[in-house]
Structure 1
Amino acid sequence: MGRKEKDQQQIEDVRLRILEAAKKLFLKEGYEATSIRKIAAEIKLSPTTIYLYYKDKSDIAYTLHKEGFKVLGEQFMVLQHVESGFERLKAMGRIYINFAIQNTDFYQLMFIMKEPMEFISDKDCCEWEEGEFAFGALQQTVLDCKAEGYFNGLNENNVALNIWALVHGLCSLKLQGHLDHVASAHLHVPEDRNILEEAFETLVLMLDKMK
């Protein structure tokens, strides 16, 4: 590896360290309580060094937001070869759920924290290609489902929004502990049952009847 490549690798390593530290602090202490100084201290850098890579902490949150959607979008891309729209829709739901459970930190930044979206709304120059691709994949899949006879008479965009909201709701309830508490305390579901999986399968059955 030449000098130029080594320098570039070092830059990338520092960038990733900054992002990881910020992600940890955002979730542990909250966005407002996290400062550039705290992020710098977490990885033993000077605040000045952080500013060489990012304008401010909202820029860092926005970058993390995009990184998360990039990972999710790449997983959705794997499903492009699935011809059946409804089968693809089911697979997308499972990927979304698995992503939420296995990448809790990214999921919180992408769908729970409001600051990244506020940053995008306030900055007309900011692009959100990764997020638009992820939702666009869902919109196209719903359109393919309609071509197969599903969701007749319904607006495809509204259907996509409702499906996303329902699956997101299940994931959020699971991550915050509400889903398991209600299942155990009020529905008397045994602890060895996967209530999240069962709830998703019920949603799939409901959608399947919309044909």
Structure 2
Amino acid sequence: MGITDRKEREKLEMRRLIMDAAMDMFVKDGYEKTSIRNIADKIEYSPATIYLYYKDKDELLWGLQTEAFEKLANVFREGITAIEPIQQLRQMAKLYVEFGMGNPDLYDLMFIIRSPMNAEKNEEWKSGSSAFQFLMNIIQAAIDKLKYENVMIGALSCWSMVHGLVSLNVRGRCKVLEVPEDKVQDMLQIAVDQYIDNITR
């Protein structure tokens, strides 16, 4: 391995070390209470080292968010296997619920806290676009069977419904329903299935 290759590998390893430490601290201590200095202390480097990779805490969190959305997009790529668009929509909704339920802290960082959006300078939400495009493609393919006027309204409506359910659970709001914790995912999936049944009648 040459010097250039070794330096590139070391940069990637350092970036991974910073991101893993930041993720751990954002989840355990909260975004507002975590500082670049705290992260530097955790990995035993100076804050100046972190600033070589990220200009501020928002950009670091946005990097984590971008990575998380790629993970979600990969879940869709691998898990959506049906040929018929309505069945694809059902599979996607199920995968989305499973992802949110299985990764509540990551989901919170992706969707619920506002700070990552501060690092995005234009109006387009680039980090979420690849995952949302899967939904747009499915709605486009199934638009003749759905009760929507256009693809964007259909995609936004479907996403809002599933996202709302997962967000309620991530923030502990499903507890008011007094549903046993091991039954919450089943309940959310039933709600999603009934929603898809309603929009395809």
More displaced, 59-68 or 170-179?
Answer: 170-179
For 1:203, the equivalent position in structure 2 comes to: 192
* Mapped partners of 1:144, 1:62: distance in 2: 31
Which of 144, 156, 160 matches 1:161?
A: 156
Q: Deviations over 1:66-101 (max 9, x none)?
A: 001111111212256532111111111111112112
Partner residue, 2:146: 150
Q: Once structures 1 and 2 are overlaid, which stretch shifts more, 191-200 or 104-113?
A: 191-200
What is the aligned partner in structure 2 of residue 13 from structure 1? Answer: 13
Q: Is the 1:183–1:195 Cα contact (8 Å) retained in structure 2? A: no
User: Does the 8 Å contact 1:170/1:196 carry over to 2?
Assistant: no
Is 1:172 aligned to residue 172 of structure 2? Answer: no
- Equivalence map 1:56-75=2 (5 Å): 56-75=56-75
| SS of 2:52 mapped into structure 1 | helix
Match of 1:182 in 2: 176
Deviation at 1:127, TM superposition (A): 6.9
Amino acid corresponding to residue 29 of structure 1 in structure 2: D
Deviation at 1:177, TM superposition (A): 2.2
In terms of mean alpha carbon deviation, does 169-178 or 131-140 score higher?
169-178
Contact 1:79 1:88 in 2 (8 A): no
Does the aligned pair in 2 maintain the 1:97–1:171 contact within 8 Å?
yes
What is the CA–CA distance in structure 2 between the aligned matches of 1:8 and 1:176, rounded to whole Å?
A: 39
Which 5+ residue runs of structure 2 have no aligned equivalent?
Answer: none
Distance 2:181 2:173 in 1: 17
Identity of aligned residues (%): 34
Q: Which has the higher contact order (CA 8 A, sep 6+)?
A: 2
AA at the equivalent of 1:141: I
Aligned to 1:31: 31
State the partner residue of 1:52.
52
Normalising to structure 2: TM-score of the pair? 0.88
Equivalent residue letter for 2:129: E
Alpha-carbon distance in structure 2 between the residues aligned to 1:169 and 1:197: 15
Unaligned runs of 5+ in 1: none
The 3 A distance-change label for structure 1 pair 6 and 132 is same
- What's the secondary structure of 1:209's corresponding residue? helix
Q: Residues 161-198 of structure 1: CA distance to partner in whole angstroms, max 9, x if unpaired? A: 1221111121122222221x2232xxxx4x37623322
**TM-score, normalized by length of structure 1?**
0.84
Instruction: Tell me which amino acid in the other structure corresponds to 1:15.
Output: R
Aligned 8 A contact 2:136 2:151 in 1: yes
Alpha carbons of structure 1 residues 161 and 116: separation in structure 2 relative to 1, 3 Å: same
Can you list the C-alpha shifts for 1:87-125, whole angstroms capped at 9, x where unaligned? Answer: 1111111111121122223211110110111321xx23x
Secondary structure, counterpart of 1:53 in structure 2:
coil
